[in-house]
Amino acid sequence: MNMPDPQVMTNAWIAQMNDPNLWKAWFNAVPEAPVNPIAAVLQDAGANIKPEVLDRLKSEYMGKLGALWADFLAGKTPQLADRRFAAPAWRENPLSAYNAASYLLNGEFLMALAESVEATARQKQKIRFAVQQLIDAMSPANFLATNPEAQQKVIESKGESLTKGLSNMLADMQKGRISQSDESAFEVGSNVATTPGTVVFENNLFQLIQYTPTTPAVHQRPLLMMPPCINKFYILDLQPENSLVRYAVEQGNTVFLMSWRNPDKSMGQLTWDDYIEQGAIEAVRVTREISGQDKLNVFGFCVGGTIAATALAVLKARGESPAASLTLLTTLLDFSDTGVLDVFIDEEQVGRREKALAKGGLLPGSDLASTFSSLRPNDLIWNYVQSNYLKGNEPPAFDLLYWNADSTGLPGPMFCWYLRNTYLENSLCVPGKLTVAGAKVDLSSIDVPTFVFGSREDHIVPWGAAYASTALLNTKKPQQNRFILGASGHIAGVINPASKKKRSYWSNVAAKPAKGAKAKTLSADDWFSGATEHPGSWWPEWAGFLAEHGGDDVKAPAKPGSRRYKAIEPAPGRYVKVRAEKA
């Protein structure tokens, strides 16, 4: 077998890696990646790699490539410590094993180059992200010509897998997205979003669902849940065994939940103020009126938490205090640390969105879905390219991935305001800096006990950023606040049913300031160093918190709504079933 000389390969590879024009070409070809991040650093910022560092990286790379080549000639199969190449077919074919090992080595070299570029921290983060996107996309597992598993299946199926894979790809092209789950296996209201309840109010922005009690007595104060408007609410109500909504009902809470409307073109002018005034504040008003209670337990998840906290601050500025407690799950209020999403946020990118959308129009749900998929491309993109297209497999039925594909759009003005004032300028946490719905926003005015939850492996809301909310809220009585850290990520950390007894969570009771003490919050690292790990779900901790602030137990409501707010339709309602409009 004729193979190229490793020294020739090394010199050619390094020459390419040092060509700024190649960086430009690569990143111009990736529409969702940050705009020319490496070219911008090398060309505009005058950044470079120190010659001695580059020489060292070259030497290390050449040494490893030479050793790999020697092993190949000696018939020694390289170790492939990467799950993408775990199947026996990669090791059984020496050329495939060498190809995979070369790819891993080249990826390692690329990342070492990215780490060595002289640039600001923000620029380096963008470089790392963009280079990793390139490396993941170029995996030999992603191409039929270099994937021995897929080739083997073509032979075994006599070409049927190739035909089926092409069919799957064409079907996805029609849908405009990669299928991650067998979508025919689920139907909203049939086997997901099935907790019994009734829509008791609706306007142009949301429907309000009141869930049917399952206990003879309930806490006096109802629970109002505000899910994110960038996803469908039923992540909180997937199936009975993993439904946070059902669990809250079973714990004796009268649960109301906002089901945001998936916007169409008629809603293209709506603003952040509209989502606060006509959305969250209206939901608070109606829930109070139906329940006959002056105080509510308010809940927000992700962006829903940002909306909930903003609404409560606006109401406080108007002299109203409708909350008995506040729960925030994986929520950002202080946007100092936005994790990997920071690569999509700079003046140029936000300005581009504002130019396109600030005066009206919709941000397509597909844009948001593509952005979040790009944060975990091997799991959410290339895994399905390999399975669905190269191998012709049908995706399995998985409720969470069905929900993940059920995307939502956003009104352009609302989205642009949110991007600039939170992610880009981090103004929400500065008392009085922002005016929302005619009121100056001061999060520190929210003076109610607050339950804050973060997920330890969350790549969207880093847990330290979630923890930062404890220093912003209820500052006069911080001992009333509670922070819980869960295992896993942004979704799996939240949806961790108590009945499953999986994973774990951390608490730190000793971190609470003494009663009456001046507000003082430990750093996230100090909090964790003194925290205690507990097996199982954090849900019972939250249920206990709600019970503390739920008031007396009273007889459960006999029927939903009230004389003024009558039943409109059964849960989950119409709004959640509307699919996002295509761009």
Query: Which pLDDT tens digit goes with each residue over 9-67?
Result: 334 434 444 444 433 333 333 333 333 444 443 443 344 788 899 889 989 999 999 99
Share of the chain above pLDDT 70, in %: 90
Say if pTM beats, i.e. exceeds, 0.85.
yes
Map out the domains of the chain with their CATH numbers: 6-155 (no CATH), 157-186+365-408 (no CATH), 197-357+412-577 (3.40.50.1820)
Q: Is the peptide bond before 572 cis (omega within 30 degrees of 0)?
A: yes
Contact 503, 496 (CB under 8 A): yes
pLDDT band at 548 (very low <50, low <70, confident <90, very high): very high
Per-residue confidence (pLDDT) for residue 520, from 0 to 100: 60
pLDDT band at 5 (very low <50, low <70, confident <90, very high): very low
Q: Which of 229, 302, 416, 429 is catalytic?
A: 302
Contacts of residue 284, Cβ cutoff 8 Å, sequence gap at least 6 = 224, 296, 298, 311, 315, 322
Per-residue confidence (pLDDT) for residue 126, from 0 to 100: 86
Active site residue 429: no
Phi-psi region of 534 (alpha: psi -120 to 50; beta: other; left: phi over 0): beta
pLDDT band at 369 (very low <50, low <70, confident <90, very high): confident
For 147-191, how does the pLDDT look when each residue is reduced to its tens digit (9 = 90+)?
999 999 999 999 999 999 999 999 988 888 899 999 899 999 999
pLDDT band at 534 (very low <50, low <70, confident <90, very high): very high
Q: Mean pLDDT, to the nearest integer, of 226-244?
A: 96
Helix %, strand %, coil % of the chain (to 5): 50, 10, 40
Which burial class, exposed, middle or buried, applies to 155 when counting CB atoms under 10 A from its CB (0-12, 13-18, 19+)? exposed
Distance CA(532)–CA(144), nearest Å, equals 48
User: What are the tokens at 485?
Assistant: 């850290």
Average pLDDT of the chain to the nearest whole number: 89
Contact 483, 467 (CB under 8 A): yes
Q: Mean pLDDT, to the nearest integer, of 405-410?
A: 92
Does 204 have pLDDT greater than 90?
yes
Per-residue confidence (pLDDT) for residue 196, from 0 to 100: 98
Per-residue confidence (pLDDT) for residue 583, from 0 to 100: 54
Q: What is the DSSP string of 325-373?
A: EEEEES--SS-S--GGGGGG-SHHHHHHHHHHHTTS-EE-HHHHHHHHH
Q: What DSSP element (H or E) covers 240?
A: none
Chain CA centroid to CA 13, Å: 36
Q: Which amino acid is at 413?
A: P
Contacts of residue 62, Cβ cutoff 8 Å, sequence gap at least 6 = 6, 7, 10
Per-residue confidence (pLDDT) for residue 512, from 0 to 100: 61
Does 4 have pLDDT greater than 50?
no
